[in-house]
């Protein structure tokens, strides 16, 4: 072996050692300045309080400020796109949602990021279960009775949603696919108008978030039939899961923390460890449950695997139902 070859190998080895040392030092000292969490929706709803809960925990444990940066628009894809293009140094994180990472991309429309390749998953944070609710005059008290009622009224059982392609809508399509119920989709420009028409009796049913539905359930104007989460939830334990009647049914959205692809693994793991500590804390869990959320922890790999699996599942539902993003 020539002297030049020996020296080249020595230089390469030294560079690798320096790089590893620098990465280790960065992980040990991280973070040293404020962290930004991009939230792809405006304040209100459940994304903002979820991000603030985790942000407060990370700020307390890491000793730096955590800034919540609401970037709504384009069906949540604007915020996801901004996060995907951020510097992968651990100082820009994303509260990723199933809408922006799964159901939106599942339509196959052009978006400014790849939900699998452009992010480094950190950890799942919460599930956001959808309630299946009906107008109070609807006689059905269970999923089976509701399906039977719809089949007895073909083309006349109206099922509202906040819009075509929303998780609420896709849950109805999944229910149709699994039962042949023949629910008729009635899209609205948001959840508010859909709920107004449900209360008024102009539509018969919809899928809605727990915090959004609970006041109207308490008033007796609507009734909860079941929940789209795979299991019953702690905030409403008396409401059965649809999966108890239809095994495999799952219509639950979720939020988790992600970073831009290329973020060093030690940083990802450090944040994940704190997320798990937060989700194991009784007071932290109670706060999330009080706003209708189901705390849920995962490893970075588990979140990545879930994104891929969910993307495949909802792509099939959308394709089989012939849904188009712009249809009404």
> What residues contact 184, with CB distance under 8 A and at least 6 apart?
155, 156, 157, 158, 159
Helix spans in 63-186 (H): 77-84, 98, 104-106, 143-152, 167-179
Based on the number of CB atoms within 10 Å of its own CB, is 238 exposed (0-12), middle (13-18) or buried (19 or more)?
A: exposed
- What integer is the mean pLDDT of 225-243? 95
* Predicted confidence (pLDDT) per residue in 101-136, tens digit: 998 899 887 899 999 999 999 999 999 999 999 999
pLDDT-above-90 percentage for the chain: 75
Q: Does 80 or 165 have the greater pLDDT score?
A: 80
CA–CA dist 158, 225 (Å, integer):
16
Residue 97 lies inside a defined structural domain of this protein: yes
What's 293's domain CATH number? 3.40.190.150
Looking at residue 9, its pLDDT comes to 63
Residue 190 in this model has a pLDDT that exceeds 90: no
* Predicted confidence (pLDDT) per residue in 283-320, tens digit: 999 999 988 899 999 999 999 999 999 999 999 989 98
CA–CA dist 15, 32 (Å, integer):
25
User: Residue 173 sits in which domain range?
Assistant: 129-251
Could you tell me if 247 and 257 lie in one domain? no
Could you tell me if 82 and 158 lie in one domain? no
Pairing mode, if any, of strands 92-97 and 252-260? antiparallel
Looking at residue 238, its pLDDT comes to 95
List the Cα angle 118/311/228 in 5-degree steps. 130
Residue 203 lies inside a defined structural domain of this protein: yes
For residue 114 the two structure tokens come to 């790849």
What's 164's domain CATH number? 3.40.190.10
In the chain, how many domains are there? Answer: 2
């Amino acid at each position: 072996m020539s002297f030049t070859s020996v020296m080249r190998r020595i230089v390469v080895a030294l560079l690798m050692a320096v790089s590893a040392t620098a990465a280790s030092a960065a992980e040990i000292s991280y973070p040293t300045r404020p962290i930004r969490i991009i939230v792809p929706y405006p304040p209100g709803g459940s994304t903002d309080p979820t991000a603030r809960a985790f942000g407060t925990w990370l700020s307390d444990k890491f000793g730096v400020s955590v800034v919540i940066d609401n970037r709504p628009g384009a069906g949540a894809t604007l915020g996801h796109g901004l996060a995907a293009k951020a510097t992968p140094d651990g100082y820009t994180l994303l509260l990723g949602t199933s809408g922006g990472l799964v159901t939106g991309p599942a339509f196959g429309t052009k978006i400014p990021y790849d939900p699998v390749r452009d992010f480094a998953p950190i950890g799942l944070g919460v599930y956001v279960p959808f309630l299946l609710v009906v107008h109070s005059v609807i006689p059905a008290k269970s999923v089976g009775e509701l399906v039977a009622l719809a089949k007895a009224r073909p083309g006349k059982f109206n099922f509202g949603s906040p819009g075509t392609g929303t998780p609420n809508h896709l849950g109805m399509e999944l229910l149709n696919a699994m039962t042949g119920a023949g629910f008729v989709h009635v899209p609205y420009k948001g959840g508010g108008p859909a709920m107004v028409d449900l209360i008024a009796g102009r539509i018969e049913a919809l899928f809605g978030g727990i915090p959004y539905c609970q006041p109207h359930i308490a008033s007796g104007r609507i009734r909860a039939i079941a929940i789209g989460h795979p299991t019953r939830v702690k905030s409403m334990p008396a409401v059965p899961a649809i999966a108890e009647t239809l095994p495999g049914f799952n219509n639950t959205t979720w939020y988790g923390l992600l970073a831009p692809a290329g973020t060093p693994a030690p940083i990802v793991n450090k944040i994940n460890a704190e997320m798990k500590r937060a989700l194991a804390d009784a007071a932290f869990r109670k706060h999330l449950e009080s706003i209708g959320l189901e705390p849920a922890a995962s490893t970075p790999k588990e979140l990545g695997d879930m994104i891929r699996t969910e993307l495949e599942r909802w792509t099939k539902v959308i394709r089989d139902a012939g849904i188009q993003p712009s249809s009404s």
